[in-house]
Structures are given as structure tokens and as C-alpha cells.
Amino acid sequence: MVFQAVGKLLGYRKHKTIKKDSPGKKTSGENEKIYLEPRYTAARVVDADILMLVALPKGLNVEEWLASNASAFYNHVSLLYGSISEFCTISSCPSMKAWATQIQWTDEKGRKRKCSAPQYADYAASIIQKILTDEDLVPTKQCKDFPKTFQPAIQKTFRLLFHLLGHIYTCHFKTVVQLELHPHLNTLYLHFLLFCAEFHLLDSKELASSEDLTTALIQSGPSPKTSGAQSKNT
Ligand SMILES: [Zn+2]
């Protein structure tokens, strides 16, 4: 619900002119990866050195950097998912597909169950909010240390966001293009992926699932540059 409400801010006006996909119809080529076409992969909103944005600034605690970025990425993914959420329904997306994988929801007791994409998005939003607002897990007071449970919790946050980004690309990319949001999505995805790679937030199997897109975006865009982050940090 949070995603839907927030996303109206981005996509509301344009939705009126967009033809809805009929219920049950595949919302984008599930077998064709249109997001890999060069006319789309070159689209960005900024010509920034993303590696510089990703790198830990001098003097900052790494856990604080991870937590603040997790919060920012959550807000950005919320906006983008929200902009297409009216097209992501139980009938259009009865299962949670991200990249080539059908993802099941794993509850807090480790039980897996099938769910639709909008249900997955709702579950993910509530878990992420719970993690990021838990003062014991993500302390905001200087006197408190981050617990050992912080790292797995933050990895879970990034994994859930990665699945949501994957669902948007895999099942709703045509709508994203109609809304002219693909430059935002590409920029967000690349920033997100490079951040995850820098801080080992996704395992290699997850990274491999969208490697073709990551490669296409890096090759077709002006950034990331390979020199920025390290030279600034030394
Ligand atoms: Zn969907």
C-alpha cells in the first residue's frame, strides 16, 4: 500500500493516457528482454560518476552508510514501483517473477510460500520498514553500536529491493517506458547494483541473474567511470 500511495506522485498524470494491459495478459515480453535494447539502455537522468556516489565517504561509519543508503534506495524503489503498481495486480502478476526466477515469499520462520507480485511488494515494504525503523537493529543514537544482526538484516533489505527492481524490469518495462521513467529506472538500478557489489550485499547468484542488464547499462552509458571512487578515497 505504501508503494502505491507514494508512486502516484510520479506517475499519476501520465497514467490517464496509458492503455491498461488486459488482466491476465503478460504485461511485457516475458521472453523478450526489451530493457536490453540500446535505445533504452542509454537512457539516464544524470551523467554522474556512480562509483563515486557509492564509495564510503571518509570518516563515515560503514553501517551508517549502509543504513542511510538502504533508506534512500527503499524510497526510490517505492516511487518507481508505485508508478506502475496500478498495472501490477493479482491477475496480471499472479506470481512474483523477477528476471528469470519465480520468487516465493519466505516468512520470518523461514517458510516459503507462493504469492502474487503485489502481495510480495506489500510484504517487502512492511519488512523493510520494520528493519529500518528498529532502533535496536539500526541505532540512530551515537552511543549505541550496531548489532551483529545488522548485516544480515541489511542484506535482506537489499535483496528484497533487488527483487522488486527485477519485477519492474521483467514484467512492467513497457509501462515504465510509456511513463518515460526508464531513464530514472536505469539510473537507480545501476546505482543500486554498484552499491550492492561494493558492499557485498547480494550474493553472486543474485548478481548473475541480471548480469546482462548490468553489462548493457555500463557499456551504453557515460558512467560509471573507473577512476573516480578510489582516487577520491585515497
Ligand atoms: Zn507486476
CA–centroid distance, residue 93 to ligand 1 (Å): 5
Residue 157, C-alpha cell as written in the block: 533489505
What is the whole-number distance in angstroms between the Cα of residue 99 and the centre of ligand 1? Answer: 12
**3 state SS of 96:** strand
The amino acid that residue 114 corresponds to is K
Question: What pLDDT does residue 144 have?
Answer: 81
Q: Which residues keep their CB under 5 angstroms from ion ligand 1?
A: 88, 93, 117, 171
pLDDT at 21: 47
pLDDT for position 24: 43
Residues of the chain with pLDDT under 50: 1-2, 5-13, 16, 21-29, 223-234
At what angle are helices 211-220 and 182-198 packed, to 10 degrees?
A: 110
Stated as kind and residue range, the H or E segment containing 38 is helix 38-41
* Residue 171, annotated as binding a ligand: no
- 88: CA distance to ligand 1 center in Å? 4
Listed by start position, the domains of the chain span: 35-89+114-233
**At which residue does the C-alpha cell 528482454 appear?**
33
Q: 128 alpha carbon to ligand 1 midpoint, in Å?
A: 19
Q: Annotated binding residue at 115?
A: no
Q: What's the confidence (pLDDT) of residue 230?
A: 41
Type and span of the H or E element at 106: strand 105-106
Report whether 15 belongs to an annotated binding site.
no
Ligand 1 centre distance from Cα of residue 23 (Å):
11
- Identify which of 10, 8, 12, 37 has the alpha carbon closest to the alpha carbon of residue 188: 10
Calpha distance 77→57 (Å, rounded): 23
pTM of the model as a whole? 0.82
CA 87 from centre of chain: 18
Element (H, E) at 97: strand 96-98
193 C-alpha to ligand 1 centroid (Å): 21
What is the structure's pLDDT at 190?
A: 94
CA of 170 to the centre of ligand 1 (A): 9
Report the C-alpha gap between 20 and 172 in whole angstroms. Answer: 11
- Which pLDDT score, from 0 to 100, does residue 105 have? 94
Closest CA to 217 of 37, 30, 33, 28: 37
Name the CATH superfamily housing domain 35-89+114-233: MOB kinase activator (1.20.140.30)
pLDDT at 134: 94
Residue 172 is assigned to a ligand binding site: yes
Ligand 1 geometric centre to CA of 227 (Å): 38
List CB contacts of 172: < 8 A, sequence separation 6 or more: 27, 28, 84, 87, 88
Q: What is the pLDDT of residue 18?
A: 54
